[in-house]
Amino acid sequence: MMIDANIGSAKDNMKSAIHNWYKFTAGFSYKFVDLIVDDMDTTPNCIYEPFAGCGTTLVAAQKKGISSIGNESQKLMCDVINAKLNWDINLDTYNKYMHQILHYVKVHNDIDILDLHCHELLEGLYDKATLKELYLIRDAVRLLNDEKYELFFNLAISQTLHKSAIHPIAVPYIVRSKKQVNCGNALDKFQSTAKQMLEDLNTVPHNNRLAKVYNADSRKRNNYISDSCCDLCITSPPYLNNLDYGEVSKVHTHFFELTSNWHDITEKVRHNLVTGATTHYKDADFDIDTFCTSEFAVSNLLLMQELKDLFYSILKNSKERKGKKSFHILMMHYFEDMYYVLKEMYRVLKPNSKAYLILGDSAPYGVYVPTTRILGDISQSLGFGDYEIFKIRERGNKWKNLKNRHSVELSENILTLKNLS
């Protein structure tokens, strides 16, 4: 496959119908999925996506009339994906439900905002009138008792949360130092957003649901997915960059009452994710000698020596820089978790099928970690054959002027694996 600029970037999704229904901090372009599928000699029967995220692979596959299966460990994102994949939204039913929502908001507009029990985090992100409208819309949608349309309208609310906030709420974290010009007016923005979503559905080639997404952890075996049932995998795992996805989504999870505090985020979100941030674990629970007896370590003895060298180098640099983040422990947890993700991927893929992973290298405390190559090595311990690495672009340049920033050159890459079973 020729790797070139045609793979695009996540920004492409914000200009493409349905893909742009949710503003997602991390992701990749739908053009990457199109490029891989179009380059194949035969159209794949089913695509596997272990990190479904905001649904890029699944939506792109469905637009091409291809079946797909995905895992997504966050309940919030599962709902987002399902809303994006339900294309059989009836105009009359939409109008009926929109009328019910608007009527509910109007009738309850005099309610005291204290009676809505708004989360304190959101109280600092929206003016009172906007916050009241958001919660009333949410409560009105809950009364529809129609799952498909609840998902649709909740996704419109999710977009409205972004559009009506005083401060940007996901870039990737809340930016209180900046203010959005056109904040407020939640009800108007909700209506216009839902209307645009409805119009977007007029652009799709069909309204058949061809994708299945499970609220599942890809580090574990998903018994709903059969062995050797997919002939292609397209995904972008979390990078080893300390991005806390539980923190990124907390405005939405608090609003929809999926979480309410730090403990909830840890128990209900972080524990189900590949370890990608130091907030996912307690340093005191990690012991390097015990770790070296794990299935992952025993299956990758040669690689473990390299990882131990990196472990102690990162630890040394963190002490010299007086760093507070345990990136040395994070790295070990990350690669162990990805071992199990790749193990499940190997089980799901048919013999001689390929997997394409978009990944980024990292340099915690200035120690270069060749993440892409290490994951390629790990894949071979599980039965994958020779792997290929294609450099897409340099990464991290926007941070290069930060004080104490390392000078290590980093890249974003495509790791190509082949199942030889």
User: Average pLDDT in the 178-195 region?
Assistant: 90
Instruction: Round to whole Å and give the CA distance between 24 and 248.
Output: 9
Give the residue from 84, 85, 35, 34 showing the smallest Cα distance to 64.
Answer: 34
Q: Return the H-helix or E-strand segment holding 250.
A: helix 250-255
Q: What is the mean pLDDT of residues 396-406?
A: 60
171-180, 224-233, 363-372: least confident range: 171-180
Q: What is the pLDDT averaged over residues 78-92? A: 97
Per-residue confidence (pLDDT) for residue 311, from 0 to 100: 97
In the numeric block, the tokens 């709903």 are attached to 224
Q: CA 384, CA 295: separation in Å to the nearest integer?
A: 17
Question: What is the band of 3 on the pLDDT scale with cuts at 50, 70, 90?
Answer: low
**Which pLDDT score is estimated for 378?**
98
CA distance 116 to 360: 43
Is omega for the bond preceding 370 within 30 degrees of 0, making it cis? no
Looking at 203, 237, 259, the residue that finishes a domain is: 203
Same domain flag for 155 and 257: no
Q: Report the C-alpha gap between 84 and 65 in whole angstroms.
A: 15
Segment 240-253 shows an average pLDDT of 91
**What span, in angstroms and rounded, lies between the C-alpha atoms of 205 and 304?**
49
Shared domain for 30 and 160, answered yes or no, is: no
Average pLDDT of span 48-67: 97
Neighbours of 93 (CB within 10 A): 14
pLDDT category, 9, cuts 50, 70, 90?
A: confident
- The listed range with the strongest mean pLDDT (114-123, 139-148, 274-283) is 139-148
pLDDT confidence of residue 187: 97
The pLDDT of 289-309, averaged and rounded, is 97
Residues 106, 166 within the same domain: yes
Confirm if 51 and 218 have CB atoms less than 8 A apart. Answer: yes
Contact 387, 415 (CB under 8 A): yes
Chain centre to alpha carbon of residue 419: 25
Please compute the mean of the pLDDT values over residues 83-101 and round it to a whole number. 98
- Asked if residue 250 lies in contact with residue 125, where contact means CB atoms within 8 angstroms, the answer is no
Cβ-based neighbours of 188, under 8 Å, separated by 6 or more: none
Task: State whether 266 and 399 are in the same domain.
Answer: yes
Q: Please determine, for residue 122, whether its predicted confidence score (pLDDT) is greater than 60.
A: yes
Closest by Cα among 344, 349, 339 to 376: 339
Residues 6 or more apart whose Cβ sits within 8 Å of residue 400: 407
How wide is the angle at C-alpha 270 spanned by C-alphas 257 and 46, nearest 5°?
Answer: 95
Cα 370 to chain center, whole Å?
A: 22
Q: How large is the average pLDDT for residues 138-166?
A: 97
Q: pLDDT by residue (tens digit) across 208-235? A: 999 999 999 999 999 999 999 999 999 9
Average pLDDT score, the chain:
93
Residue 174 has pLDDT above 80, yes or no: no
Closest of 45, 17, 322, 360 to residue 197, by C-alpha: 17
Same domain? For 236 and 348 the reply is yes
Tell whether 308 and 377 lie within a shared domain.
yes
Residue 420: the pLDDT is 80
Q: How many domains does the chain have?
A: 2
CATH number at residue 267: 3.40.50.150
pLDDT at 418 over 60: yes
170 vs 194, residue with greater confidence: 194
Please say if the pLDDT value at position 304 is more than 80. Answer: yes
Q: Residue 105: which domain range?
A: 88-203
Q: What is the mean pLDDT of residues 373-394?
A: 96
Q: Which residues pair with 139 in a beta bridge?
A: none
Q: Are the beta carbons of 353 and 234 closer than 8 angstroms?
A: no
pLDDT > 90: what percent of the chain?
A: 82
| Same domain, yes or no: 25 and 146 | no
Asked whether residue 259 falls in the same domain as residue 294, the answer is yes
124 and 190 belong to one structural domain: yes
Bridge partners, 412 (sequence order): 360, 393
**Does residue 61 carry a pLDDT above 80?**
yes
Are β-strands 410-418 and 349-360 bridged in parallel, bridged antiparallel, or unpaired? antiparallel
Sheet (strand 349-360) strand order: 211-214, 67-71, 46-49, 230-235, 349-360, 410-418, 388-395
Q: Are both 75 and 92 inside the same structural domain?
A: no
- In this predicted structure, what is the pLDDT of residue 402? 59
Among residues 143, 170, 203, which one ends one of the domains?
203
Q: Which of 186, 203, 220 is the last residue of a domain?
A: 203
Domain match, 153 and 232 both:
no
Query: 401: pLDDT confidence band, cut at 50, 70 and 90?
Result: low
Are 229 and 320 within one domain? yes
